Amino acid sequence: VPQHNTTGMGMPPMSLTPSSSSSSTSTAQQPPTASPQPSNVAKQPSKGLKLSRQQLAVAQEIFREAPQLNKQQKALILAFMAGSRENPLPGHEVISIKLNQRQQQEYVQTTEGSRRIRNVQLETVFEMNYTTGQWRKLQVKRPLD
């Protein structure tokens, strides 16, 4: 997954989730489910921020997978990818935006050595680290039973 380090300004999002995940694997443990709203952040235009063709292609693919994102969430992702480091949730260095979710079944090994089916929810998350300037797209797996 591409990761970028740049600086700039962006627009605030809605329904963001602080994340405490710091590993670089593509599957992470459960991030916090609280969705605090940005505090005292006014809308600001994205001044001087530009995406490369490669960044634009990645952003288009992300948005194709996440049609439920609102304009502010899309603007935040685009601004972050273009270099904005204006954190809409001060005090939270890593912020995650859920791109999509689905349920599936998987086989798991029991302690007795047999296999059983387990229901899981897979969430695809876009994670932005405002300290390092890096972003990543990852899968979060949550057991349902």
Q: What is the pLDDT of residue 145?
A: 81
Q: How many whole angstroms separate alpha carbon 115 and alpha carbon 123?
A: 24
Report whether 18 contacts 90 (CB < 8 A): no
How crowded is residue 65: how many other Cβ atoms within 10 Å of its Cβ? 13
Instruction: For residue 142, report the phi and psi dihedrals to the nearest 5 degrees.
Output: -125, 120
Q: What is the pLDDT of residue 19?
A: 61
Q: How many whole angstroms separate alpha carbon 50 and alpha carbon 96?
A: 22
What percentage of the chain reaches a pLDDT higher than 90? 63
CA separation, residue 91 to residues 31, 70, 128, 139 (Å): 16, 24, 14, 24
What percentage of the chain reaches a pLDDT higher than 70? 68
Question: Is the pTM here over 0.85, yes or no?
Answer: no
pLDDT tens string 114-145: 999 999 999 999 999 999 999 999 999 999 98
